[in-house]
Amino acid sequence: MQLLAVGLNHNTAPVSLREQLAFAPEQLGQAVVAARSWFERIDHRGSDEAAILSTCNRTELYAASRVPDSLDAGAHFLADFHKLNYAELRPHLYLLPQHDAVRHTFRVASGLDSMVLGETQILGQIKDAIRTADEAGGLGTYLHQLFQRSFSVAKEVRSTTEIGAHSVSMAAAAVRLSQRIFDKIFDTNVLFIGAGEMIELCATHFAAQNPKSITIANRTLDRGEILAHRFGGRAIRLAELQDKLHQYDIVISCTASSLPLIGLGMVERAIKARRHKPMFMVDLAVPRDIETEVGRLNDVFLYTVDDLGKVVQTGMENRQAAVAQAEAIIETRVQSFMHWIDDRAVVPIIQSLQENGEALRQLELERARKMLAKGEDIDAVLEALSKGLTAKFMHGPQQALHRAQGEERAHLAELLPQLFRGRR
């Protein structure tokens, strides 16, 4: 079994491609099953493991497979599942085998591969992805161990370094950008579309600026009202956006919709109703919630998740020492995990040796019982039993040494005494 990670992220692909490769939450279980089937069609021995992580910044397939070209197979799976041209997708993908896949997993969980260095949201996203994979039957010994260790590494990195101490969150970046358009946030009406973790984080940051009003638009009104109540706001249904969008100066959207919720025509009508008063919009969703054409309107300032990513990269030099410390921790834990994998590789050999030894023991034991049944002296029986066991256990190594030649014989001659140096 070989571990692998195949995918793309904010460093290797623009949001326009990431949204094409993104998996909707309701797709993930089905996709995990499809990934396992994809590998099993190539290698019929089965037992392949798979998990898929899909966020606004990355889509990654993690797997443990016996397929000889498993990395290439994983890359083709992603293209095939989303009906994308493989040749166009391939330059944006990273294909990470075994050792590199383990290091990458630990770095992702620790927030070192995030757009916001050291952010903690990714850990919860990984846990959700692993829970889904487990429910879909995608986890086995290898992936289960890999992700359990990644959680431990992430905890160690965050508790022993200052990796997140100087980070600027996407939510804080959104506030900072909005202040370029509106000097006084407390004079603005703010609309949040969605009710997930990212929207909750953004609402927290904007609420601290005491805006004139906060509104949550969500598909289910109950959930929207719960979040709105926390910030002294109100909730509306998504269906009401068409008629009420013009009321808002700042619009932050992050939903799991597979299609845009806000189109060019809707925003054009809103701007006209606002008499061309500026509107600041942030689309944190992947796939995007707001049509890209909206950004061409003169009175609209539209930012994507990638635009905010550029803002949060400021101050990187302040975090380099923490990064180096975190990387050292991760490298140590990678080596530990690779030792575990190596140990797993010899388990079948050990089991075979134990089974063979037990068979030989049973043969000699049965022979001793027959000698005792005939009334032979017990000391003679024990002597025969010990000699018989020794002869049988030594037969294989002696034959191997006789058949070997050259370097192989020299290697066996050095190795065998160590193998048979038992306790005294």
| 322-363 pLDDT tens trace | 888 999 999 999 999 998 988 877 767 777 778 888 888 888
In this predicted model, which residue has the larger pLDDT, 23 or 46? 23
Position 204 pLDDT exceeds 60: yes
According to DSSP, the residues that pair with 214 across neighbouring strands are: 190
The answer to whether residues 150 and 106 touch, using CB atoms and an 8 Å cutoff, is yes
Q: Structure pTM?
A: 0.76
Q: What is the rounded average pLDDT for all residues in the chain?
A: 90
Average pLDDT over residues 197-209: 92
Is 240 known as a binding-site position? no
Which pLDDT band holds residue 413 (cuts at 50, 70, 90)?
confident
Catalytic positions are: 56
The answer to whether residues 305 and 283 touch, using CB atoms and an 8 Å cutoff, is yes
Is 234 known as a binding-site position? no
Q: What is the rounded CA–CA span in Å between residue 233 and residue 235?
A: 7
Is 114 known as a binding-site position? yes
Residue 47: the pLDDT is: 62
Average pLDDT over residues 58-78: 93
Q: What is the rounded CA–CA span in Å between residue 327 and residue 406?
A: 44
Cα first-last separation, the chain: 38
Cα 333 to the center of its chain, rounded Å: 17
Look-up of token digits 């063979």 = 356
Is 56 known as a binding-site position? yes
Q: Per-residue pLDDT tens for 372-409?
A: 888 888 888 888 888 888 888 788 788 877 888 888 88
Is 194 known as a binding-site position? yes
Which pLDDT band holds residue 417 (cuts at 50, 70, 90)?
confident
